[in-house]
C-alpha cells in the first residue's frame, strides 16, 4: 500500500530507533462535514467526506484558501463544526468533551509552539501531566520518547527550547504529541519552517517513525511533493473547501480527477510518479561490461532520482548496488521506454503522451470523480 516510504527507511534515522512500543491507532471518518462562518456567504468547508484507515497517513493538500487547516482543526474541535459528523474509532467527536478529546489527539503545528519556559522533558510531559499520570510513568515515557527522537535523555531533557536547533525543536514537538500514545495525530505543516535539507531529513525520520508507531495521521501541507512523499492517501482540496480528489499518490498522479487536480499536481506528474518507485522494484539489465567508476546508486533510490543522475551524466548507465555495495544490475535510459510502455498497458493508454495531456479533463477510463 505504501510505496513511498520504502525509499526512506535506510540511513541513521533518529526516529527509526523507535522503542518497540505498543501503539494505538484509530480510523478517522469525516461524514459530510461543513463549516460556515457567520456573515460569510460561501462555506469554508463544504460537504467534506473521506475515511482514513487506522494507521495510515492522510495528507490534506491544496492552495491557500482551500480550507485544509480549517478541516484539520475541525477534527479536534479547535474549530466548531457547522454540519456533518466526524468519527474517531467509530465514535463521534461531537459527543466528547473537547478537552478530553484533544488530549487523545496528537497535535503538531508549523511553529511547533514548544513552551519556552519549560525544559524539553517538561514539554514532552505536558499531556501525561494533564491526564494525571504518575511521576514514574511520565518520567519513563519522556525517556522513551527522547530516545525515540535520538536525543540523549541525560543531556537533553533538562534543556530549554531556546537551546535546540530548529530540527531538534520539531522532533521534540513530535515527541510531545506522541507522549500519551494518541490514536490520531494532527500535523499542520510540521516541516514548513525548516530549511529544505533538514526538512527532507525530518520527513524521512517521520516516515521511519510512522513505520514503527503506525498512527493514523492527518498531515496538512501546501506542497504537493511533500504530500506525495508523506501520504498513504492524499485529499486535494480546492477553494471553498471542496474535495477535488481523495486517492493514493499513484492514482492522483496517474489519473487526476479533473483540470484542477492535474494543474495542481503539475505538468511534471509523469516524472513525479517515478519518485514512487525505487530501483529495487525494477527489472534491471545484467551488469555486463560495467566500467569501473561507473555511476552507482543504492537500490532504495527512487527512479526519479536515478533518472536525474543518468541525465546529469549525459546518459551513462547506472549501476544499482545493494547494502554491501554489490552490483545488482544496470539501469539505462532504454529502461524508461520499457517502464512507460508497462505503465501504459497497465493503464490502457498509449505511451509518450504523459505531459501533453496534463490539461485534458477526465482523461482515461479509470479517472475518477470524487464528490
CB of 96 to another protein, least distance (A): 11
| Phi and psi at residue 35, to the nearest 5° | -135, 125
CB of 118 to another protein, least distance (A): 8
Closer to another protein at the Cβ: 30 or 185? 185
| Rounded Cα–Cα distance for residues 67 and 243 (Å) | 10
CB of 26 to another protein, least distance (A): 17
> Closest distance between another protein and the C-beta of residue 13, in Å?
24
Of 236, 187, 244, which Cα lies nearest the Cα of 73? 187
Give Cβ neighbours of residue 203 (< 8 Å, ≥ 6 apart): 8, 191, 226, 229, 230
Q: Are 71 and 33 in contact (CB under 8 A)?
A: yes
Positions of E strands within the chain: 28-35, 45-52, 57-61, 83-88, 91-92, 105-109, 184-188, 216-221, 233-238, 242-247, 295-298, 318-321, 327-331
Q: Shortest Cβ distance from residue 130 to another protein (Å)? A: 6
Q: Spell out the alpha helix ranges (H) of 286-368.
A: 303-312, 334-347
Q: Give SS3 for 14.
A: coil
Specify the residue, 55 or 173, whose C-beta has the smaller distance to another protein: 173
Query: Residue 105 or residue 367: which is nearer to another protein going by CB?
Result: 105
Write the burial class of residue 10 (CB in 10 Å: 0-12 exposed, 13-18 middle, 19+ buried).
Answer: middle
104/247 with CB nearer another protein: 104
Q: Name the residue nearer to another protein (CB basis): 96 or 222.
A: 96
| Rounded Cα–Cα distance for residues 83 and 92 (Å) | 13
Minimum CB–partner distance for residue 98 and another protein (Å): 8
Q: What's the min distance (Å) between Cβ of 176 and another protein? A: 8
Question: Taking the complex as a whole, how short is the minimal distance between the CB of residue 143 and another protein, in angstroms?
Answer: 20
Residues making contact with another protein (CB under 8 A): 76, 78, 98-104, 107, 109-118, 126-127, 130, 159-160, 162-165, 176-177, 186
Q: How far apart are CA 345 and CA 348, in angstroms?
A: 5
Please identify, using beta-carbon distances, which residue of 67 and 329 lies nearer to another protein. Answer: 67
Closer CB to another protein, residue 160 or residue 336? 160
Per-residue b or e along 192-216, where b marks 16 or more CB atoms closer than 10 Å to that residue's CB = bebeeeebebbbbbbbbbbbbbebb
Residues 6+ apart with CB under 8 A from 208: 5, 8, 9, 13, 15, 16, 18
Please, which residue, 26 or 243, has the CB nearer to another protein?
26
Amino acid at each position: 500500500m505504501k510505496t513511498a516510504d520504502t525509499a526512506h527507511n535506510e540511513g541513521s534515522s533518529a526516529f527509526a530507533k523507535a522503542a518497540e512500543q505498543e501503539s494505538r491507532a484509530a480510523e478517522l471518518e469525516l461524514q459530510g462535514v461543513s463549516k460556515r462562518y457567520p456573515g460569510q456567504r460561501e462555506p469554508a468547508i463544504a460537504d467534506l467526506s473521506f475515511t482514513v484507515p487506522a494507521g495510515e497517513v492522510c495528507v490534506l493538500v491544496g492552495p491557500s484558501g482551500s480550507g485544509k487547516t480549517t478541516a484539520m482543526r475541525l477534527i479536534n474541535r479547535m474549530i466548531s463544526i457547522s454540519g456533518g459528523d466526524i468519527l474517531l474509532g467509530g465514535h463521534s467527536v461531537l459527543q466528547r468533551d473537547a478537552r478530553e478529546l484533544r488530549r487523545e489527539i496528537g497535535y503538531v503545528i508549523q511553529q511547533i509552539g514548544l513552551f519556552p519556559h519549560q525544559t524539553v522533558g517538561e514539554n514532552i510531559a505536558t499531556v501525561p501531566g494533564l491526564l494525571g499520570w504518575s511521576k514514574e510513568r511520565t518520567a519513563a515515557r519522556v525517556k522513551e520518547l527522547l530516545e525515540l527522537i535520538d536525543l540523549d535523555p541525560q543531556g537533553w531533557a533538562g534543556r530549554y527550547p531556546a537551546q535546540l536547533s530548529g530540527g531538534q525543536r520539531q522532533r521534540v514537538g513530535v515527541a510531545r504529541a506522541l507522549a500519551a500514545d494518541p490514536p490520531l495525530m494532527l500535523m499542520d505543516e510540521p516541516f514548513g519552517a525548516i530549511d529544505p535539507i533538514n526538512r527532507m531529513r525530518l520527513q524521512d525520520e517521520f516516515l521511519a517513525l510512522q513505520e514503527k508507531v503506525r498512527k493514523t495521521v492527518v498531515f496538512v501541507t501546501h506542497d504537493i511533493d511533500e504530500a506525495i512523499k508523506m501520504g498513504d492517501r492524499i485529499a486535494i482540496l480546492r477553494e471553498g473547501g471542496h474535495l477535488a480528489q481523495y486517492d493514493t499518490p499513484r492514482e492522483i498522479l496517474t489519473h487526476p480527477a479533473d483540470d484542477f487536480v492535474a494543474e495542481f499536481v503539475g505538468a511534471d506528474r509523469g516524472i513525479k510518479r517515478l519518485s514512487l518507485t525505487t530501483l529495487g522494484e525494477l527489472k534491471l539489465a545484467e551488469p555486463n561490461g560495467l566500467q569501473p567508476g561507473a555511476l552507482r546508486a543504492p537500490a532504495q533510490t527512487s527512479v526519479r532520482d536515478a533518472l536525474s543522475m543518468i541525465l546529469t551524466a549525459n546518459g551513462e548507465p547506472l549501476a544499482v548496488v545493494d547494502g554491501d555495495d554489490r552490483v545488482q544490475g544496470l539501469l539505462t535510459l532504454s529502461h524508461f521506454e520499457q517502464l512507460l510502455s508497462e505503465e501504459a498497458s497497465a493503464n490502457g493508454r498509449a505511451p509518450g503522451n504523459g505531459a501533453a495531456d496534463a490539461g485534458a479533463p477526465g482523461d482515461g477510463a479509470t479517472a475518477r470523480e470524487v464528490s
